[in-house]
């Protein structure tokens, strides 16, 4: 093997080391996503990082037998470029939209960064891979808590209220919310007419986007809304209040 071909070869021990590092780095990020119950978690991030490393290793060292051919020029970035564009399909699968709420963007971004870390490991750019993993974990753990603390008074909340069809429902609910200092940013109304044979009254569903400075006020507003005789149930932030024959019941 000539010196020129030597740069296109790697020992089995070095190859195994890079693959193991990819598993640990991808797993470190995946644990954080798994801890917060995201769809793409521990195993997904390991597989993305390991796959990117394997493809990078293949791109650099998989065709070393052709390195000394006079009419062959090796391009180690060729397969890596396909990883960058292809990983977007996995990231897109982690993004979910529910009404005006979009979730999964951070997970999709973490998958994309983990793929880049895997490429760095495969190329032997370990310094960048290690520090990228550290900065990514800091962003997901530390900056996530800091962002929630700083933005706690600026985020909007969604509330869904189901009521009997009452022409004064919207006005009375709006008054109850404003009395608690809650600002209505947007409201959407959907009317559901009951079938004539069922004998049930028609209902409407109101979807509010609210600006709330104090989350405690939101729960107090939900309880006050339930004092209105036409309200069936309300839901906000995964917590709901349901009207039963025994009164108001909180359901998590």
CA distances from 37 to 30, 40, 42, 107 (A): 11, 9, 10, 11
Q: 171-199, pLDDT tens digit by residue?
A: 888 888 888 778 777 778 777 655 444 55
Q: 97-140, pLDDT tens digit by residue?
A: 665 556 778 888 888 999 999 999 998 889 999 999 999 888 88
Domain count across the chain: 2
The predicted structure's pLDDT at residue 119: 92
Statement to judge: residues 84 and 125 lie in one domain = yes
Statement to judge: residues 112 and 35 lie in one domain = yes
- SS3 breakdown of the chain: % helix, strand, coil, rounded to 5? 55, 20, 25
In terms of C-beta distances under 8 Å and separation of at least 24 residues, what long-range contacts does 243-248 make, across chains too? 248/223
Statement to judge: residues 93 and 114 lie in one domain = yes
Q: In the listed set 101, 116, 150, which residue is the last one of a domain according to the structure?
A: 150
| Cα–Cα distance for residue pair 46/27, rounded to 1 Å | 5
Statement to judge: residues 46 and 70 lie in one domain = yes
Statement to judge: residues 186 and 118 lie in one domain = no
Can you tell me which residue has the tokens 């009317």?
191
Q: In the listed set 150, 168, 193, which residue is the last one of a domain according to the structure?
A: 150
Say which CATH number the domain at 186 has: 3.30.70.260
Statement to judge: residues 21 and 139 lie in one domain = yes
Statement to judge: residues 104 and 219 lie in one domain = no
Question: Percent of the chain beyond pLDDT 90?
Answer: 15
Statement to judge: residues 62 and 44 lie in one domain = yes
**Three-class secondary structure of residue 27 per DSSP:** helix
Can you tell me which residue has the tokens 């960064």?
113
| Cα–Cα distance for residue pair 74/4, rounded to 1 Å | 12
The predicted structure's pLDDT at residue 248: 39
Q: Residue 247 — pLDDT band, cuts 50, 70, 90? A: very low
Q: In the listed set 117, 150, 183, which residue is the last one of a domain according to the structure?
A: 150
Statement to judge: residues 140 and 163 lie in one domain = no
Domain that holds residue 20: 3-150
Statement to judge: residues 139 and 166 lie in one domain = no
Residue 108: count other Cβ atoms within 10 Å of its Cβ. Answer: 18
Statement to judge: residues 108 and 123 lie in one domain = yes
Statement to judge: residues 205 and 97 lie in one domain = no
Q: 64-77, pLDDT tens digit by residue?
A: 777 677 776 777 78
Instruction: Report, as an integer, the average pLDDT of 219-223.
Output: 77
The predicted structure's pLDDT at residue 6: 67
User: Which residues touch 104 (CB under 8 Å, ≥6 apart)?
Assistant: 38, 39, 40, 94, 95, 96
């Amino acid at each position: 093997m000539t010196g020129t071909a030597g740069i296109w070869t790697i020992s089995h021990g070095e190859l195994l080391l890079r693959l193991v590092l990819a598993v640990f780095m991808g797993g470190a990020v995946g644990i954080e996503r798994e801890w917060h119950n995201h769809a793409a978690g521990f195993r997904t991030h390991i597989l993305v990082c390991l796959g990117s490393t394997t493809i990078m290793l293949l791109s650099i060292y998989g065709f070393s037998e052709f390195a000394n051919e006079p009419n062959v020029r090796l391009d180690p970035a060729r397969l890596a470029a396909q990883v960058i564009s292809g990983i977007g399909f996995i990231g897109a699968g982690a993004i979910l939209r529910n009404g005006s709420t979009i979730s999964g963007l951070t997970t999709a971004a973490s998958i994309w960064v983990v793929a880049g870390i895997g490429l760095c490991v495969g190329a032997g750019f370990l310094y960048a891979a290690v520090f990228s993993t550290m900065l990514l974990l800091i962003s997901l753990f530390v900056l996530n808590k800091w962002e929630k603390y700083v933005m706690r008074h600026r985020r909007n909340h969604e509330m869904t209220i189901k009521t009997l069809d009452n022409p004064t429902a919207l006005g009375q609910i709006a008054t109850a919310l404003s009395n608690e200092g809650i600002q209505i940013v947007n409201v959407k109304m959907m009317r559901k007419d009951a079938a004539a044979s069922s004998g049930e009254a028609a209902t409407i569903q109101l979807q509010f986007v609210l600006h709330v400075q104090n989350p405690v006020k939101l729960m107090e507003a939900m309880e006050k809304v339930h004092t209105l005789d036409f309200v069936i149930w309300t839901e906000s932030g995964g917590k709901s209040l349901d009207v039963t024959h025994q009164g108001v019941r909180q359901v998590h």
